[in-house]
């Protein structure tokens, strides 16, 4: 009762207000006339439906099926769905005088006739529904002028011919429904231009020539219309690498045999069970469902057994927990390309897959024994059995497979190689990744054809085998996290014209860095965590492609390598924990993003003017990973996760002078560390700098002011004044310490990239605070 009376009061007051301000609520007379005339354009066989309430002496905004804009009083919505309208929509219909219409729904009426081109007069239309209206003839191309249109439904009509290409200019369209509209001819390629489109329903038409539908690698989202699978002529449907979501409906395919040969749905966000009706797509040759989220459900492999023509089957990372017996696939006689990574596999030792496989990826499949069926796969080119639990020795027969060139056995428990010493050398491998196992000496003899070799995280020891120098095609060499000792072989010069990635990180390598081992094509050089002494090799100056240089935690004893500034692509330079000394100056690195010089013996003062420009820095994104170099895009997850890790670390050097007040203004620096230097004077004011823990300033005998307990006795204010006087001293300072400006254009994304390589490691161990990086 309460609610009812409340409603009554509200509607009463509305009526009263309505009378009080008629201008706002009465419809415009010309629009009322247009509506009344429109009503009279039709015959009403039985009754007049909604239009029955339309009377000349009432406010048309109060009529059934009408909505007006409360501010302007214009008729903006006309909903006459199922209103017994009989008769054609004439091209001079008074409907087209309702210029302000945003929604027009004439669905389920008998408008027997054509859809007049003058529909485009209603140029503000957002929603147009002419569902089941007995319309025929051509769909007018003037529809393309309705530039605000978001929803178009022309389903269940008897149109003639194709969908006009002008529909491709409806770039706000999100939903397009043309079910049973007798559309024929080509699938309108213009639709592929509509980036907002989340719903296309083209069921039951007469589209005859759609053969290829490839929109892979875009950002299409929403669900995939089942109608796509109903297009009888479709041969190639590639929706891979988009953001399509939801369970997939394939509809009832049994009516006519599908011609679909290629179906790529991989790397989207599909979820739910794999549709059983896939098994009806009997012409399929290539099927990619990778990264389909089955929500830990079961994948019924029998679905695929009907697809006898399959040559390519990619089912990796389907988030399924069930164990799949690989022998099921022995029915697929043409299979040549199989990726089941991430699926728990049962592989019988006697299994024999009859079809010759060229590409086989069985990473993270819970495999505990080297799959023997591979031995008879003599056409195998690519084998990835990484991230399993296979122990013991890598079988000798593997290297006898004649065309195998990519072998990835990383992240297992292998401890050696079966067979003679030169068993690998005699094969023609190009890529060999044996990292993260328990391999130990003897170091294998490698084939001269090798371009990529990684044995990181194993137990190899002793001097680096000079045999490696025979690999004159080597592009990537990763020996990190072993126990190699001795010096870097001079004969590395043998691949100095091919090598782009060299990673010797975390071994016990000593001696000086031989100049001749530096190749001009180097993009990434990481020798961090070794015992290398002497100077940085000056031949680095020839590495114009160098992006990543990390020599942290060695015994390099050298002046600041300002000459590296001539490397146009250098983005990350890490010199921390060495014996670099002297002043740091003249640094204008064109692309430097990360610059870590902490824990050295640098001396000198901090010039204030180099901080001033920092907040204006900006740059495009380039993310570098140490091994191998990878440039990742902005969309990378790392980029987002770590943007607030912004710190400046100058700790553990012998820097003197005062901390420049400008540093207090750099709001993007979340953390700073000035500890263990010889800095003096007041700590500058500024929220960022004052919010630091006092330990960030510790062990600088002359520093004073908050957050330290030691007060300066009024010197804090002086610090601000000093800032103003500094212009005079500028000249002098240009010659000293411009190292701060080296941090040009630091980008958060780069930090993300470093994560992958080694800073993640640092991060994990809480060292990130000591890394000097500067951001925009
Ligand atoms: C509505 O009434 C007005 C005035 O009474 C008249 O001028 C107008 O022609 C009428 N409109 C229709 C469509 O009957
Ligand atoms: C639809 O309209 C056409 C012509 O205007 C008429 O011949 C037909 O009988 C109508 N159909 C219905 C179901 O009213
Ligand atoms: C609209 O055109 C038809 C012919 O197509 C004509 O009979 C009718 O009088 C016209 N109506 C108006 C309002 O001009
Ligand atoms: C769309 O509008 C433009 C300009 O208003 C006009 O020249 C063109 O003919 C219209 N296109 C169609 C298909 O009606
Ligand atoms: C459907 O379209 C075809 C070709 O465009 C045409 O020949 C046929 O008459 C249309 N069917 C109907 C019921 O209008
Ligand atoms: C898609 O849009 C581009 C640029 O807007 C245009 O050049 C191209 O012709 C359009 N393609 C189709 C099929 O309409
Ligand atoms: C489909 O289109 C073809 C011509 O493209 C036509 O011959 C055939 O009659 C149409 N089928 C239907 C059901 O309209
Ligand atoms: C699928 O189509 C077949 C024959 O065309 C029909 O017998 C069956 O009932 C349909 N199934 C569904 C779920 O519509
Ligand atoms: C080998 O496999 C591991 C784990 O799947 C992967 O991280 C690595 O990138 C692969 N190595 C190469 C060289 O492709
Ligand atoms: C290098 O390692 C080997 C084996 O671990 C050891 O025998 C040798 O003494 C080491 N050489 C040096 C210089 O440390
Ligand atoms: C360097 O490569 C050449 C072949 O190009 C080879 O003969 C030589 O033995 C290699 N040097 C070493 C130290 O392996
Ligand atoms: C160095 O490698 C060893 C394995 O050889 C590993 O245990 C250790 O954590 C690594 N240390 C660093 C700093 O990467």
What are the pLDDT digits (tens) for 117-162?
Answer: 999 999 999 999 999 999 999 999 999 999 999 999 999 899 998 8
Q: Is the CB of 90 under 6 A from ligand 3?
A: yes
Residue 226: pLDDT band with limits 50, 70, 90: confident
Q: Which two tokens stand for residue 634?
A: 């902005």
pLDDT score, position 27: 86
Verify whether ligand 12 is closer than 6 Å to residue 762 (CB atom).
no
- Cβ–ligand 3 contact at 583 (below 6 Å): no
Q: In terms of C-beta distances under 8 Å and separation of at least 24 residues, what long-range contacts does 212-221 make, across chains too?
A: 212/236, 212/238, 213/187, 213/237, 213/238, 213/239, 214/238, 215/239, 215/242, 216/240, 216/241, 216/242, 216/264, 217/241, 217/242, 218/242, 219/195, 219/243, 220/195, 220/244, 221/245
Average pLDDT over residues 728-748: 28
Distances from the Cα of 265 to the Cαs of 81, 158, 210, 270, 271, in angstroms? 38, 33, 18, 8, 11
Residue 523: is it exposed, middle or buried by C-beta count within 10 angstroms (0-12/13-18/19+)? buried
Residue nearest to atom 7 of ligand 1 (CA): 33
Q: Is any ligand 8 atom within 6 A of the Cβ of residue 13? A: no
Instruction: Tell me how far the alpha carbon of residue 624 lies from the centroid of ligand 8, in angstroms.
Output: 54
Residue 151, token pair as written in the block: 């929803």
Please state, in angstroms and rounded to a whole number, the distance separating the CA atoms of residues 165 and 172: 15
Residue 297 has what pLDDT? 85
What is the CATH T-level fold of the domain 210-322, as seen in this structure?
3.80.10
The finding on whether 578 has its CB within 6 A of some atom of ligand 12 is no
Average pLDDT over residues 165-169: 88
37 CA to centre of ligand 1 in angstroms = 10
Give the pLDDT confidence of 428-475 residue by residue, as tens digits: 888 999 999 999 999 999 999 999 999 999 999 999 999 999 999 999
Nearest ligand 8 atom to alpha carbon 252:
1
User: Measured from the CB, is residue 465 less than 6 Å from ligand 12?
Assistant: no
pLDDT of residue 592: 63
- Predicted local distance difference test score (pLDDT) of residue 436: 98
CB of 748 closer than 8 Å to CB of 775: yes
Cα–Cα nearest to 589, from 579, 603, 575, 577: 575
Question: Does residue 391 have its Cβ closer than 6 Å to ligand 10?
Answer: no
Residues 83 and 133: beta-carbon distance below 8 Å: no
CA of 768 to the centre of ligand 12 (A): 17
Does 86 sit in the ligand 2 pocket, CB within 6 Å? yes
- Closest CA relative to residue 197, chosen from 163, 247, 149: 149
Q: Grade residue 184 by pLDDT with cuts at 50, 70 and 90.
A: confident
What pLDDT was estimated at residue 218?
62
Q: Which atom of ligand 11 is nearest to the CA of 467?
A: 14
- What would the DSSP string read from start to end of 202-258? --S-EE----EEE-TTS--EEPPPTHHHH-TT--EEE--SSEEEE-------TTS--
Burial 171-206 (b: 16+ CB within 10 A, else e): eebebbbbbbbebeeebbebbeebeebbebbbbbbe
Q: If you count them, how many residues does the chain have?
A: 776
DSSP 477-520: EE--SSEEEEPPPGGGGGGTTT--EEE--SSEEEEE--GGG--T
Tell me if 487 sits within 8 A of 466, measured CB to CB.
no
User: Cβ contacts of residue 23 below 8 Å, gap of 6+?
Assistant: 73
Q: Which atom of ligand 4 is nearest to the CA of 145?
A: 1
Name the band, by pLDDT with cuts 50, 70 and 90, for residue 599: confident
Contacts of 270 (CB under 8 A, 6+ apart): 244, 245, 246, 247, 248, 289, 292, 293
Task: Check whether 52 has a pLDDT greater than 60.
Answer: yes
Confidence of residue 669 (pLDDT cuts 50, 70, 90): low
Q: What are phi and psi of 665, to 5 degrees?
A: -90, -10
> Ligand 6, atom 2: nearest CA belongs to which residue?
193
Burial class, 585, CB count within 10 angstroms (exposed 0-12 / middle 13-18 / buried 19+): middle
Residue 208 binned pLDDT confidence (cut-offs 50, 70, 90): low
Cα 683 to Cα 706: distance, rounded to the nearest angstrom:
7
- For the stretch 555-565, pLDDT in tens is 999 998 888 88
Q: How many Cβ atoms are within 10 Å of 740's Cβ, its own excluded?
A: 26
Contacts of 762 (CB under 8 A, 6+ apart): 768, 771
The CB-side HSE value for 404 (13 A sphere, CA atoms) comes to: 24
Q: 91: CA distance to ligand 3 center in Å?
A: 8
Q: 624 and 646 in contact (C-beta within 8 Å)?
A: no
**Residues 774 and 592: beta-carbon distance below 8 Å:** no
Mean pLDDT of the chain: 79
The pLDDT tens digits of the residues spanning 332-358 come to 999 999 999 999 999 999 999 999 999
Check residue 183 and give left, alpha or beta (phi > 0: left; psi -120 to 50: alpha): beta
Q: How confident is the model at residue 207 (pLDDT cuts 50, 70, 90)?
A: low
Residue found by looking up tokens 């004893």 in the block: 557
In which band, very low, low, confident or very high, does the pLDDT at 553 lie, cut at 50, 70 and 90? Answer: very high
Whether the domain at 210-322 and the domain at 337-459 fall into the same CATH topology? yes
pLDDT digits (tens, 9 = 90+) for 614-668: 332 323 222 222 322 222 222 222 222 622 234 566 788 888 888 877 666 666 5
The pLDDT of residue 761 is 25
Q: Which ligand is nearest to the CA of 161?
A: 5
For ligand 8, the distance from its centroid to the CA atom of residue 307, given in whole angstroms, is 20
**Fold (CATH) for 337-459:** 3.80.10
Q: Nearest ligand, CA of residue 158?
A: 5
- Per-residue pLDDT reduced to its tens digit, 650-664: 788 888 888 877 666
> What pLDDT does 9 receive?
34
| CA gap 132, 177 in Å, rounded | 12
373 CA to centre of own chain: 36
Q: Using a 6 Å cutoff on CB, does residue 461 contact ligand 10?
A: yes
pLDDT of residue 558: 94
pLDDT at residue 107 tops 80: yes
Does residue 113 come out as left (phi exceeding 0), alpha (psi in the -120 to 50 range) or beta? left
H/E element holding 137?
strand 135-137
Ligand 12, atom 13, residue with closest C-alpha? 506
**Sign of the CA dihedral running 215, 217, 222, 228:** positive
From the list 747, 489, 743, 705, the residue with the least C-alpha distance to 596 is 743
* Percent of the chain's residues with pLDDT above 90: 46
Given a cut of 50, whether residue 82 has pLDDT beyond it is yes
Q: What pLDDT, on a 0 to 100 scale, did the predictor assign at position 127? A: 97
**DSSP reduced 3-state for 678:** strand
Of 59-73, 425-439, 675-689, the range with the lowest mean pLDDT is: 675-689
Whether residue 386 has its Cβ less than 6 Å from ligand 9: yes
Edge to edge, what strands does the sheet with 531-534 contain? 461-463, 483-486, 508-512, 531-534, 555-556
At residue 202, the pLDDT reads 67
Structure tokens at 442: 């003897």
Tell me if 92 CB under 6 Å of ligand 3.
yes
Q: Is 112 in the pocket of ligand 2 (CB under 6 A)?
A: yes
Which ligand sits nearest to residue 470's alpha carbon? 11
**Is the model's pLDDT at 311 over the cut of 70?**
yes
Ligand 9 atom, smallest distance to 476 CA: 13
**Which of the 8 DSSP states describes residue 762?**
H
Q: Is 530 helix (H, G, I), strand (E, B) or coil?
A: coil
Tokens of 505: 């990180």
Query: What pLDDT, on a 0 to 100 scale, did the predictor assign at position 65?
Result: 94
Spell out the residues 6+ positions from residue 29 whose beta carbon is closer than 8 angstroms to its own.
Answer: none
Domain locations in the chain as residue ranges: 210-322, 337-459, 721-775
Residue with tokens 């249109």: 149
């Amino acid at each position: 009762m309460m609610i009812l009376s409340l409603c009554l009061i509200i509607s009463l007051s509305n009526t009263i207000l309505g009378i009080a301000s008629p201008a706002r609520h009465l419809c415009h007379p010309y629009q009322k006339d247009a509506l009344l005339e429109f009503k009279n354009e039709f015959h009403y066989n039985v009754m007049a439906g909604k239009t029955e309430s339309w009377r000349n002496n009432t406010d048309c905004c109060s009529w059934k099926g009408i909505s007006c804009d409360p501010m302007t009083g214009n008729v903006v919505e006309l909903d006459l769905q199922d209103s017994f309208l009989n008769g054609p929509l004439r091209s001079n219909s008074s409907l087209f005088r309702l210029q302000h219409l945003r929604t027009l729904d004439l669905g389920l009426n008998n408008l027997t006739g054509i859809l007049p081109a003058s529909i485009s007069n209603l140029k503000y239309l957002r929603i147009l529904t002419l569902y089941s209206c007995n319309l025929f003839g051509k769909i007018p191309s003037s529809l393309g002028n309705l530039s605000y249109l978001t929803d178009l439904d022309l389903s269940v009509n008897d149109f003639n011919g194709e969908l006009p290409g002008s529909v491709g200019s409806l770039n706000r369209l999100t939903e397009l429904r043309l079910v049973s509209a007798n559309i024929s001819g080509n699938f309108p390629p213009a639709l592929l231009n509509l980036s907002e489109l989340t719903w296309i329903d083209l069921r039951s038409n007469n589209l005859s020539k759609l053969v290829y539908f490839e929109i892979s690698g875009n950002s299409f989202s929403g669900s995939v219309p089942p109608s796509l699978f109903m297009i009888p002529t479709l041969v190639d449907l590639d929706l891979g690498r988009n953001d399509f979501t939801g369970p997939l409906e394939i509809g009832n395919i049994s009516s006519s045999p599908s011609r679909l040969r290629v179906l790529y749905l991989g790397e989207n966000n599909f979820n739910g069970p794999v549709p059983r009706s896939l098994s009806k797509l009997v012409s399929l040759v290539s099927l990619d469902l990778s990264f389909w989220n089955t929500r830990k459900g079961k994948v019924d492999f029998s679905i695929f057994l009907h697809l006898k023509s399959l040559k390519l089957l990619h089912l990796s990372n389907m988030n399924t927990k069930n164990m799949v017996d690989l022998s099921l696939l022995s029915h697929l006689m043409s299979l040549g390309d199989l990726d089941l990574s991430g699926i728990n596999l049962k592989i019988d030792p006697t299994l024999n897959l009859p079809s010759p496989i060229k590409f086989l990826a069985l990473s993270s499949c819970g495999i505990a024994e080297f799959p023997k069926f591979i031995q008879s796969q003599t056409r195998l080119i690519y084998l990835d059995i990484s991230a399993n639990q296979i122990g013991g020795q890598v079988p000798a027969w593997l290297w006898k497979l004649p065309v195998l060139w990519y072998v990835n056995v990383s992240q297992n428990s292998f401890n050696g190689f079966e067979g003679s010493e030169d068993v690998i050398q005699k094969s023609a491998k190009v890529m060999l990744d044996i990292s993260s196992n328990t391999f130990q000496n003897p170091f294998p003899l490698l084939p001269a054809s090798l371009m990529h070799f990684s044995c990181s995280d194993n137990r190899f020891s002793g001097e680096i085998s000079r045999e490696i120098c025979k690999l004159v095609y080597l592009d990537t060499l990763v020996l990190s996290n072993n126990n190699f000792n001795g010096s870097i072989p001079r004969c590395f010069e043998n691949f100095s014209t091919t090598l782009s990635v060299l990673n010797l990180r975390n071994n016990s390598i000593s001696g000086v860095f031989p100049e001749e081992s530096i190749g001009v094509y180097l993009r990434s050089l990481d020798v961090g965590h070794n015992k290398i002494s002497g100077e940085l090799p000056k031949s680095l100056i020839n590495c114009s492609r160098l992006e990543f240089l990390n020599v942290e935690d060695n015994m390099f004893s050298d002046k600041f390598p300002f000459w590296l500034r001539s490397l146009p692509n250098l983005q990350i330079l890490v010199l921390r924990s060495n014996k670099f000394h002297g002043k740091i100056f003249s640094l204008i690195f064109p692309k430097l993003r990360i610059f870590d010089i902490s824990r050295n013996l640098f001396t000198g003062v901090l010039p204030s003017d180099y901080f001033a420009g920092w907040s204006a820095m900006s740059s495009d994104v380039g993310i570098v990973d140490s091994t191998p170099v990878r440039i990742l895009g902005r969309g990378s997850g790392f980029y987002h996760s770590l943007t607030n890790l912004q710190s400046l670390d100058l700790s553990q050097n012998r820097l003197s002078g005062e901390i420049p007040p400008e540093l207090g203004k750099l709001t993007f620096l979340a953390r700073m560390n000035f500890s263990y230097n010889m800095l003096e004077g007041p700590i500058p004011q500024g929220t960022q700098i004052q919010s630091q823990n006092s330990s960030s300033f510790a062990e600088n005998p002359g520093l004073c002011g908050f957050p330290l307990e030691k007060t300066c006795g009024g010197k804090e204010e002086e610090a601000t004044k000093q800032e103003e006087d500094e212009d005079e001293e500028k000249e002098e300072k240009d010659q000293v310490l411009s190292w701060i400006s080296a941090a040009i254009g630091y980008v958060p994304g780069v930090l993300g990239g470093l994560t992958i390589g080694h800073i993640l490691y640092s991060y994990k161990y809480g060292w990130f605070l000591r890394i000097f990086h500067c951001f925009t």
